[in-house]
Structure 1
Amino acid sequence: MEALIPVINKLQDVFNTVGADAIQLPQITVIGTQSSGKSSVIESVVGRSFLPRGTGIVTRTPLVLQLNYCPKDDKQRRSEFGTNGIEEWAQFLHNKNLPGLTKVPVGDQPEDIENQIRELVFHYIRNPNSIILAVTPANTDMATSESIKIAKEVDPDGRRTLAVVTKLDLMDAGTDAIDVLCGKVIPVKLGIIGVVNRSQQDILDKKVSNCPFN
């Protein structure tokens, strides 16, 4: 597997460059509305905090994340600041302005921002080998979940969809997410996971995430 990952990464780079999908590579695609907790979910899957944080639109670029393991005896990748001789870094190769699913253009966003984002999302979730992580905040009505709606368009039976319910701690007093977490509201085959996101202060305090993806 360690030898296969670099090959897959290179294939993905080639396909992204030429704009063709000769092979539908396995991948996990995270989708969700703006500020729904996508960055926190991605970081929990990876096990590292590497995305920018703040208020408003922060993660402004489409991300294709590739993981590389560098053994500690690889001198070219060693760093005095790394852990156990392993350097950790994130390289961002995109520069377009595209955040999460949104409806109204803000600031310097183009007027067709909604269509651009939807087309980008569908490009990846149409892949039959793609697992869809549909992120929805618990403090909104699940029946209006944009991520679940989009996932159903390409995966009507929910066979490739895993629902991630974020911000459980921000639900209105006296309400709960039992029906949602039990699958009575969002029927998906891969299951439903509830997440309590780290607050900005938790991030500043370097609090470790307790997300079940870790």
Structure 2
Amino acid sequence: MGRAKKRNGYSSPTTPSPDTTEPKTIASPEERTKALASSFDAEVRPLIDLVDKLRGYGLDRDINLPAVAVIGDQSAGKSSVLEAISGVQLPRGTGIVTRCPLEMRMKHSEDEDKWEGKIMYKDKHDMRQEEVILNRESVGDLVRKAQKEMTDGAKGISDELITLEVTSSDVPDLTVIDLPGITRNAVEGQPFDIEARIKNMIRKYIKRQETIILAVLQCNVDIATCEALKMAKEFDGEGGRTLGVLTKPDLMDKGAETGVIRILNNMEFTLSKGYIIVKCRGQEAISEGQSLKQALDIEEDFFKSHRHFSSLRPSQWGIPDLSSRLSRELKRHIKKLLPELKEDVRRKLLETERMLHELGEDPPQTASEKRQMALMVSE
């Protein structure tokens, strides 16, 4: 077999991607909706809960925990993708909308009527805030409120994490960390070095070998200019940890579809995990009250009837398939890293115990012990 030809710093594959043997069948709308909320198997939730609990204890400051980090250029459609997966509307608008890392913990429930939410964060005064969310419609406003309380101004950013928990019958078992969109120019009210600050924040997550990178890329721009893909390549040169998601296929110019299909077939910018293309609700559709189920049906109709995209394999398009893929990838990633993670926790525990021992005995508890210590100090 001949040597792979290089394009734009990535190798074109000389062998088919792993899913090319997949039968070309199209699931019904009901099956695809169900796939979005599937919990897959009994292993997924305990593994994700374990990592979430360790991150909640603050161990991610000392130990690199498995994670899915969502990155993309400003206005690439990150929030739309996460909305479609989680079923909750996140802050939208122009400019930098995601201004703090947002950890979304999604927990699947078999109870079709159940919906529970909670948001947790530390404000700029380092005070712990926690609020129960009564309905999914208020999530976006509460995230905006948290961002405002965590940053110095309406357009500032923070490295501190906002944790959003959602339990519902229409979400998968999945945890992802949404990072601010990559911007190039500061606007009024933003730090002059906003681009560097955002990129440094992103690097902190994606440089870790424990992180799966979800790179969100617009179909209607030249993928070679996408900063998200460049940053992913900087720390994942072979593309083994990166999954590409192409968005806004309805906005690209006619005639550009062939190039997008080449990307989806890993013929331009090779990623071992490949690419998935999705079509999410726009702001107009949300304002008109379009539901998640309706959006999934519209997405399916778009790809099944499209002159070019109808030739794609089912695993190459759609929010349900992206959702399924992410849960499987995260489960596989955690299982692979679990032995090393256990050793890291054990090593950190021993180090902490040693430091406590060096501090001396525990403080006195009883009155007699306190008097004895007072006498020792006064001598």
Pair 1:34–1:90, CA change in 2 (3 A) = farther
Instruction: Structure 2 unaligned segments of length 5 or more: list them.
Output: 1-42, 122-146, 158-179, 297-318, 324-379
Distance (whole Å) between structure 2 residues aligned to residue 62 and residue 20 of structure 1? 14
Unaligned runs of 5+ in 1: 73-82
1:106-125 alignment, distance < 5 Å: 106-125=187-206
Q: Following TM superposition, by how much is the alpha carbon of 1:197 offset from its aligned partner in structure 2, in angstroms?
A: 2.3
| Structure 1 CA distance for aligned equivalents of residues 290 and 93 of structure 2 | 15
Count residues with an aligned counterpart.
Answer: 199
- Equivalent residue letter for 1:201: E
**Equivalent residues in 2 for 1:41-52, closer than 5 Å:** 41-45=81-85, 47-52=86-91
Is the contact between residue 142 and residue 185 of structure 1 (CA under 8 Å) also seen in structure 2? no
Q: Deviations for 1:14-63, whole angstroms, at most 9, x for unmatched residues?
A: 337xx7232x2211111001100011222233x32231233444333321
Higher-strand-fraction structure: 2
Q: Which segment is superposed worse, 52-61 or 169-178? A: 52-61
- The answer (yes or no) to whether the contact 2:83–2:89 under 8 Å persists in 1 is yes
* Match of residue 73 from structure 2: 33
**1:21 corresponds to which residue?**
62
- Which residue, 237, 254, 263 being the options, matches 1:180? 263
The residue type paired with residue 21 of structure 1 is D
Aligned-partner Cα distance in 2 for 1:193–1:199 = 19
The residue type equivalent to 1:189 in the other structure is S
Q: Is the 8 Å Cα contact of residues 70 and 216 (structure 2) preserved in structure 1?
A: yes
Distance, in Å, in 1 between the alignment partners of 2:284 and 2:199 is: 32
| Pair 1:65 & 2:104 matched | yes
2:48 and 2:275 map into 1 onto residues whose CA distance is 28
Which residue of 1 is the match for residue 322 of structure 2? 213
2:51–2:66 CA contact under 8 A, matched in 1: no
Larger radius of gyration: 2
Separation (CA, whole Å) in 2 of partners of 1:11 and 1:158: 27
Question: Who is 2:236 aligned against?
Answer: 155
Query: 1:63, 1:92 within 8 Å by CA — same for their partners in 2?
Result: no
TM-score scaled by length of structure 1:
0.82
User: How far apart in 2 are the matches of 1:61 and 1:6?
Assistant: 22
Give how far 1:90 is off. 4.5
The one-letter amino acid of 2:322's match is: F
Amino acid at match of 1:103: R
Distance 1:121 1:57 in 2: 14
Contact 1:50–1:90, Cα closer than 8 Å, also in 2: no
What is the root-mean-square deviation of aligned Cα atoms in Å? 2.3
Question: What code does the residue aligned with 2:281 have?
Answer: R
Paired residue for 1:79?
A: none
